[in-house]
Amino acid sequence: MLSKAYIEDYHYIKLIIHEKEMPLCDLDNLYINNSVDNLKLNVFKIEKYDENFHVHTTFKGRFLLHIDYFVILDENAKIHVDLGKIMRTERFDVENYYEGPLGLEYHEDYTIFRVWSPLAKEIRLVLDDKSINLEYVERGLWEKQVNEKLNGLKYHYEVRVNEKFEKCLDPYAIASNADSTENYVIDFNKTYEMKNNFISNKKPLESIIYEVHLKDINVENKESCYLSLVDKIPYFKDLGLTHLQIMPLNVFGGVDEEQKDALYNWGYNPIEYNVPTGWYASVASEPYVVINELKQMIDEIHKAGLLVNLDVVFNHVYITKTFSLNVLVPGYVYRTDEHGFLTNGSGCGCDFASERLMNRRFIVDSLKHWAQNYHFDGFRFDLMGLLDYNTLILAEKELKKINPNIMLYGEGWNMSTGLPEIKRATINNHWALPNYAYFNDVFRNTMRGEPYNNKGYIYNQNYRLNDVIEVIKGSSSIEFLFSTPSQSINYVECHDNLTFFDKLKKDVPNLNVEDIDRYIVLSLGLVLLSLGIPFIHAGEELGRSKKGIDNTYNLGMDVNGLSYQDKDKHQTKINACKYFINFRKNHSWFTINNSDVINKKIKFSKTPNNTIMYEVDNFVVIFKNNKCLEELSFDNNVKLLFKGIEETLEFTETVLLDNIGVWIIEKAQ
């Protein structure tokens, strides 16, 4: 007789009754009960939608979410009360917030399994094909201690929220089999011992970030992409980098972890947040091998004196229905609009509701896991603007307990989501996150041009000259951008969109090799000699191409592969990049983090041909985007340190600017 019954709030149940059955229902004698309570339902509103009536009822008395309830019409008619919108209420969020441990607590002779699911009626632990019931404790916590030696055993959960059991992975798992069909019990203390962890005292403005995809740089096709990176460390160190930014390496979809060359993906399809992917390991099916190779890679990076940041994706998940937290707490994990449909600001089918307390806790716990157990030095947040800034404030607070100098930054684009704009971690709300940096698309668009449209300053001598000066100054005096230069990630190229080389070839066809080198050196100079945090995409200094394709997230190594074996062919660009980095490290004005001081100390000007230059201390830095012959005269001899595209050492009173490139001049003190 009753089609459906939903718990919408703690005293509110909605019934859906077909119009043919409605005359048979005695709405004055509706009850809900469980094994203890028998509560009368009182109708307060009836609505008609198509062939169904929506009957809205209230009741007095407690409603325990982990117990089954039924709507009773008479002795022969009852229907299970399923979940409605109750999990999206503020009361649910507050009353079910749990602060204690979650996931596995491993001991040699016993292991405690803990899962948070306030809505589950039953949870079974399937441990190496043996089924064990978990017990409800409080505030959504389910728990079971298994008094056996479990190291190396596989496990998953079976969860019943309404009437059917569903398979579920452990959202707090730290190890899985290949392609994540099972989690594994492991003793993390028996994994590779990291020897080179250190807490750097490096400030954000002393950083030079280099973005790496682990598969891309393994063109030698070695068994382990994790360990293949180790071979490249001498090059990274010689270049002068301070931070490697590794694109996502938690378990993600779009690849086959065992058939490693069958598919390719950038990694922005999160499936398990605390488990390193086996796609980059030599043996994906061996969790200890996967973990050990990742820890060894990070250890070797630190041994070389470099730092390593992890690219994390908390704005969405890959498969909404089967994501573990959604199976455990359906309706809670994602944002919805006023009609109950999932929002899609991410463009990936859902938006993670970071503002809900246990979702917030999950994000912070995951970040702490990577910082504490793998010694990552910082985090780059994909589509950070979809997250709420209170979550990121808490993350910063907790991460700084582990590493006081943790580096935090992300994409602050403002996209539509179910979260009010004032609460989003966008560039517009940079004031709320003073210790986070943002990818500065104004810098990118001003220097190279917008991704699909215009040509920027690099090859358009009249393009937005005032903006060019402002972004070189750190973007901190442009009202709609940042408070300080340390919030600006300056870049002209990243994994998204065309590489600079490919955009250059598209926008300015038929260039010769020397002209291409000059444009690339100019672009590197603008990134590395501007105030803010410089960011370089792997291979940018080599003139990397992705065959003119702007979105190569799944196109394989034929398009994405990056070899350093032929770097000698690109030595001019590499040497320029090294020089700019070294110059930056040796001059303190790049670490000024106050716009008033910057305006007083650094003087900008432009020539009649719109070549931009600045003078600071006794140095002049010039960014020339044209081939017009220009002449700078000085009262005394100056040292010409960098000339166009190469380092030099010339003493002269007259400096000729005769081509595209960068000039650095030291004046007599």
Residue 222 and residue 367 in one domain:
yes
Residue 112 has pLDDT above 60, yes or no: yes
Picking from 57, 84, 111, the residue at the C-terminal end of a domain is: 84
Range ranked top by mean pLDDT from 448-452, 477-481, 581-585 = 581-585
Which of 61-65, 327-331, 354-358 is the least confident region?
61-65
Q: What is the pLDDT of residue 493?
A: 97
Supply 237's token pair: 């160190």
122 and 28 in a single domain? The answer is no
Angle at 139 between CA 137 and CA 142, to 5 degrees: 40
Structural tokens at position 250: 């938690």
- The average pLDDT across 254-266 equals 97
Q: By mean pLDDT, which of 320-324, 449-453, 459-463 is the weakest?
A: 459-463
Mean pLDDT computed over 389-418: 97
453 pLDDT higher than 80: no
Q: What are the DSSP calls for 16-43, one per residue?
A: EEETTTGGG--TTSEEEE-SS-EEEEEE
Q: Is the pLDDT of residue 2 over 80?
A: no
Which pLDDT score is estimated for 459? Answer: 87
Of 84, 102, 118, the residue that ends a domain is: 84
Give the whole-number percent of the chain exceeding pLDDT 90: 87
Range of the domain at 173: 93-190
Q: Is 80 exceeded by the pLDDT of residue 35?
A: no
pLDDT-derived band of residue 150, with 50, 70 and 90 as boundaries? very high
Whether the pLDDT of residue 332 is over 70: the answer is yes
Tokens coding 519 = 């444009």
Asked whether residue 200 is domain-assigned, the answer is: no
Per-residue confidence (pLDDT) for residue 558, from 0 to 100: 97
Domain assignment of residue 74, yes or no = yes
> 587 and 608: one domain?
no
Q: Can you tell me whether residue 323 is helix, strand or coil?
A: coil
- Mean pLDDT across the stretch 586-593? 96
560 and 608, same domain (yes or no): no
Question: Does 479 have pLDDT greater than 70?
Answer: no
How many beta carbons lie within 10 A of that of residue 112, not counting itself? 14
| Residue 1 clears pLDDT 60, i.e. is over it | no
Mean pLDDT of 404-428: 96
Pick the range with the lowest mean pLDDT from 263-277, 365-379, 451-465, 484-498.
451-465
Sheet of strand 135-136, all strands in order from the earlier edge strand to the far edge: 103-106, 111-116, 141-146, 135-136
Domain total of the chain: 4
pLDDT for residue 137: 97
Sign of torsion over alpha carbons 342, 344, 349, 351: negative
Asked if residue 657 and residue 580 are part of one domain, the reply reads: no
Whether the pLDDT of residue 425 is over 70: the answer is yes
At 48, which CATH number?
Answer: 2.60.40.2320
Does residue 528 fall inside a structural domain? yes
pLDDT-derived band at 29 (thresholds 50, 70, 90) equals confident
Q: Does the residue 597 lie in any domain? A: no
In a domain, 201, yes or no: no
What is the reported pLDDT for 451?
A: 82
Q: What average pLDDT does range 356-374 have in this prediction? A: 98
Q: What is the pLDDT of residue 461?
A: 65
Amino acid at 548: G
CB atoms within 10 A of CB 508: 15
**pLDDT category of residue 480 using cuts at 50, 70 and 90:** low
Check whether residue 265 and residue 366 sit in a common domain.
yes
Residues 463, 501: one domain?
Answer: yes
The answer to whether the beta carbons of residues 362 and 171 sit under 8 Å apart is yes
> What's the pLDDT at 26?
84
Domain membership of residue 130 (yes or no) is yes
Average pLDDT for residues 43-48, to the nearest whole number? 94
* CATH number of the domain residue 641 falls in: 2.60.40.1180
Segment 563-571 mean pLDDT? 94
Question: pLDDT by residue (tens digit) across 83-97?
Answer: 999 999 999 999 999
What would the mean pLDDT of 2-30 be, rounded to a whole number? 88
> If 0-12 CB within 10 Å is exposed, 13-18 middle and 19+ buried, where does residue 234 land?
exposed
Burial bucket for residue 373 (CB in 10 Å: 0-12, 13-18, 19+): middle
**Statement to judge: residues 344 and 445 lie in one domain:** yes
Q: Supply angle C-alpha 232, 570, 644, rounded to 5.
A: 125
Q: State the DSSP H helix or E strand holding residue 236, giving kind and residue range, or none if neither.
A: helix 225-239
Question: pLDDT of 160-200, one tens digit each?
Answer: 999 999 999 999 999 999 999 999 999 999 999 999 877 77
471 shares its domain with 612: no
Within a domain: 383: yes
Indicate whether 283 belongs to any domain: yes
Q: Do residues 573 and 521 lie in contact, with contact meaning Cβ atoms separated by under 8 Å?
A: yes
How many angstroms from the chain centroid is the CA of residue 543? 26
Q: Does one domain contain both 59 and 169?
A: no
Domain endpoint, select from 547, 566, 591: 591
Band (pLDDT 50/70/90 cuts) for residue 519 is very high
CATH of the domain at 446: 3.20.20.80
* Same domain as 146, residue 35: no
Based on the fold, state whether residues 237 and 340 are members of the same structural domain: yes
CATH at 147: 2.60.40.10
Query: CA 406, CA 368: separation in Å to the nearest integer?
Result: 11
What value does the mean pLDDT of the chain take? 95
The pLDDT score that the predictor gives to residue 623 is 97
Closest CA to 535 of 601, 584, 477, 470: 584
Residue 447 has pLDDT above 80, yes or no: yes
